[in-house]
């Protein structure tokens, strides 16, 4: 069912709209939320539109600019009309430490409300830019709900970007019917009402702010985001139709949202230089990393990375290290620790013992480059949507270890709908520190994904999805066509 070929009408890319006797290029603002997992796909999106001839302006703050500049270097060199426009980030006005302009630099999760408050103060400078440059469209993050009204003031349509998949967008909407009220204890499973596929969850796996109004700030933010989305021009989704067509249809036809699937966005990066230093400067030179992988056999290395935000305690990191060692597999493990943090999070003598067997990257890895290397046999991930989709693009089976945000929903898609992964077994949405996972559970899951026969089926399925992903962004592919249709529709609005 999931792999039915969609019946798409192919539309030509119409980025140049005829106005009288002249052609005018459309101009789009891309305004990502200031977290790596949001900036990375939105910058890719801007590159994608720019490659179609659209003038793309990425709106960000001064400290976020350098990494974006690096990411768009190649696109600029190719002559694409892509720019960065900075607006001052009011850290001190919002009570944040100086220099805190990205979610990964907030001192603790308790600062999240202040960070959101700071982003609301970006309204005035954004409106100034809208007045001066009058773009044809604003694509902005779901967390910037106020941008719908700001854009409307100038008669400009706003498109919403959530950064997640159709499945999770649908699941969150279905949760508004509160199926979790029908159970008597937090670990009792309930079916997500109306969501195709009889998907079961527990209250423990849900973000607390989706269950209770107690988490006022976050609940209000989500309410505002939903209201703004319903008033906006539509939603752009970093996914491809063949991956989750049932949910893409549900989102559009049952939930009534106007949506375009234009992913996988990471595929807009073609060469090694573009894939390296994506979102941040890599903590290891990609040549060194790839050389290490070149020495390994195909499908023999596990890649473990928990995205840009999850931050485990030292005790949990030790469990991971011990579990990896016990699994006997080769691995690359990305850890959010630097040399300055000391080695308290590692078992005694671990790195020495693991020489040649395991590579630890402290900080930031060239993730897509690693994933697509033929030596990678599995991906242990926190199920951030970018990571899941990058795993799919690379055709690598997944061990799911959700931590926060909508990651427990993404886990269901991976394991129960797509059947391309196995769970590590975490049961509870805890936030960025994550639920505890024992070394034994990790060892078992890693051995299973690397050695069990059942994984051959998963590997075949994910390899097929990888092919479909790549095909979807090629001419006439489903994402290519949807992007063209979107550009055409935006063009029609200008007349």
CA distances (Å), origin 349, targets 7, 324, 335, 361, 371: 57, 14, 17, 17, 28
Looking at residue 54, what DSSP letter applies?
Answer: -
Active site (annotated) includes residue 98: no
**Closer Cβ to ligand UDP, 150 or 368, answer by number:** 368
Contacts with ligand UDP, 257-296, as mask; x by CB under 6 A:
---------------------xx-----------------
Q: Would you call 261 a catalytic residue per the annotation?
A: no
Nearest-approach distance from CB 133 to ligand UDP, in angstroms: 28
Q: Residue 45 in contact with residue 236, Cβ under 8 Å?
A: yes
Distance of closest approach, residue 68 Cβ to ligand UDP, in angstroms: 14
The single residue among 61, 64, 239, 386 that binds ligand UDP, judged by CB under 6 A, is 386
Q: Where do the H-state alpha helices sit in 52-135?
A: 65-77, 112-120, 123-133
Q: By C-beta, is 219 or 283 nearer to ligand UDP? A: 283
Among 368, 400, 478, 481, binds ligand UDP (CB under 6 A): 368
Instruction: Quote the least distance from Cβ 109 to ligand UDP, whole Å.
Output: 13
How would you class 220 by CB atoms within 10 Å of its CB: exposed for 0-12, middle for 13-18, buried for 19 or more?
A: middle
Q: DSSP character for 28? A: E
Query: Does position 207 bind ligand UDP by CB under 6 A?
Result: no
Judged by CB under 6 A, which of 367, 479, 481, 484 binds ligand UDP?
367
CA 157, CA 223: separation in Å to the nearest integer? 20
Residue 51 has a CB neighbour count (10 Å cut-off) of 18
Q: Does 365 bind ligand UDP (CB under 6 A)?
A: yes
- Find the binding residues for ligand UDP in span 304-343 (CB under 6 A): 305, 307-309, 334
Exactly one of 36, 47, 52, 459 binds ligand UDP (CB under 6 A); that residue is 36
Pair 35, 119: CB distance under 8 Å: no
Place of tokens 């060194």: 288
Q: Which of 101, 141, 274, 390 binds ligand UDP (CB under 6 A)?
A: 390
Q: How far is the CB of 301 from ligand UDP (least distance, A)?
A: 16
8 A C-beta contact, residue 162 and residue 142: yes
For residue 479, the number of C-alpha atoms closer than 13 Å in the C-beta half-sphere is: 27
Is 410 an interacting residue with respect to ligand UDP (CB under 6 A)?
Answer: no
Active-site entry in 44, 80, 136, 141: 141
Rule CB under 6 A: is residue 40 a binding residue for ligand UDP?
Answer: yes
Q: Is the CB of 364 or the CB of 409 nearer to ligand UDP? A: 364
**Cα–chain center distance at 279:** 12
Q: Which residue is nearest to ligand UDP (CB)?
A: 37
Q: Is 75 in the site for ligand UDP (CB under 6 A)?
A: no
Q: How far is CA 495 from CA 18, 119, 339, 492, in A?
A: 9, 33, 57, 6
> Could you tell me which of 75, 73, 67, 112 has the C-alpha nearest to residue 364?
67
Q: Which of residues 94-113 bind ligand UDP (CB under 6 A)?
A: none
**Minimum CB distance to ligand UDP, residue 10 (Å):** 29
Q: What's the closest the beta carbon of residue 239 comes to ligand UDP, in angstroms?
A: 12
Do residues 162 and 235 make contact, with C-beta atoms less than 8 angstroms apart? yes
Contact 243, 388 (CB under 8 A): no
Count Cα neighbours of 46 within 13 Å in the Cβ-side half-sphere.
Answer: 33
Q: Would you say 260 or 303 has its CB closer to ligand UDP?
A: 303
Options 30, 241, 364, 408; binder of ligand UDP; rule CB under 6 A: 364
- # binding residues, ligand UDP (CB under 6 A): 19
Q: Which is nearer to ligand UDP, 327 or 367 (CB)?
A: 367
Which CB, 32 or 384, lies closer to ligand UDP? 384
From residue 202, give the alpha-carbon distance in Å to each of 180, 185, 191, 366: 7, 9, 9, 34
Compute the distance between CA of residue 293 and CA of residue 303 in angstroms, rounded to an integer: 11
Report the residue from 142, 387, 472, 481 that binds ligand UDP according to the rule CB under 6 A: 387
Positions touching ligand UDP (CB under 6 A) are 36-37, 40, 278-279, 305, 307-309, 334, 364-365, 367-368, 384-387, 390
Name the residues annotated as catalytic. Answer: 38, 141
């Amino acid at each position: 069912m999931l792999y039915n070929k969609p019946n798409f009408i192919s539309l030509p890319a119409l980025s140049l709209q005829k106005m009288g006797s002249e052609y005018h290029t459309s101009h789009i603002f891309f305004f990502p939320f200031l977290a790596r997992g949001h900036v990375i796909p939105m910058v890719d999106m801007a590159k994608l539109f720019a490659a179609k001839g659209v003038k793309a302006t990425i709106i960000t703050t001064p400290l976020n600019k350098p990494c974006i500049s690096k990411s768009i270097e190649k696109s600029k060199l190719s002559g694409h009309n892509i720019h960065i426009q900075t607006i001052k980030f009011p850290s001190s006005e919002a009570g944040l430490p100086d220099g805190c302009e990205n979610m990964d630099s907030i001192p603790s999760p308790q600062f999240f409300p202040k960070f959101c408050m700071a982003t609301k103060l970006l309204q005035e400078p954004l409106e100034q830019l809208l007045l001066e440059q009058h773009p044809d469209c604003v694509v902005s993050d779901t967390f910037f709900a106020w941008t719908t009204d700001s854009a409307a003031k100038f008669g400009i349509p706003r498109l919403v970007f959530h950064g997640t998949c159709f499945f999770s967008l649908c699941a969150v909407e279905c949760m508004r019917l509160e199926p979790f009220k029908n159970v008597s204890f937090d670990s009792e499973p309930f079916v997500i009402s109306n969501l195709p596929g009889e998907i079961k969850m527990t209250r423990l796996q849900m973000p607390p702010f989706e269950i209770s109004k107690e988490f006022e700030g976050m609940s209000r933010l989500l309410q505002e985001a939903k209201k703004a989305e319903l008033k906006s021009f539509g939603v752009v989704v970093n996914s491809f139709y063949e991956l989750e067509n049932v949910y893409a249809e549900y989102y559009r036809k049952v939930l009534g949202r106007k949506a375009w699937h234009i992913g996988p966005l990471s595929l807009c990066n073609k060469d090694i230089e573009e894939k390296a230093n994506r979102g941040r400067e890599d903590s290891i030179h990609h040549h060194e990393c790839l050389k290490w992988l070149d020495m390994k056999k195909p499908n023999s290395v596990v890649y473990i990375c928990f995205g840009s935000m999850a931050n485990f305690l030292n005790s949990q990191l030790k469990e991971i290290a011990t579990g990896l060692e016990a699994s006997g597999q080769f691995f690359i493990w990305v850890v959010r620790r630097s040399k300055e943090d000391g080695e308290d999070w590692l078992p005694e003598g671990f790195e020495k013992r693991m020489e040649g067997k395991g590579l630890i990257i402290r900080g930031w890895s060239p993730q897509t480059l690693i994933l697509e290397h033929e030596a990678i046999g599995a991906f242990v991930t926190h199920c951030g949507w970018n990571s899941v989709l990058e795993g799919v693009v690379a055709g690598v089976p997944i061990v799911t270890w959700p931590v926060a945000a909508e990651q427990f929903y993404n886990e269901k898609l991976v394991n129960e709908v797509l059947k391309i992964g196995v769970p590590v077994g975490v049961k509870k949405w805890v936030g960025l520190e994550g639920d505890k996972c024992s070394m034994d559970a990790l060892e078992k899951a890693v051995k299973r994904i690397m050695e069990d026969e059942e994984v051959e089926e998963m590997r075949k399925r994910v390899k097929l999805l990888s092919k479909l992903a790549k095909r979807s962004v090629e001419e006439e592919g489903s994402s290519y066509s949807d992007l063209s249709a979107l550009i055409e529709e935006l063009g029609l609005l200008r007349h």
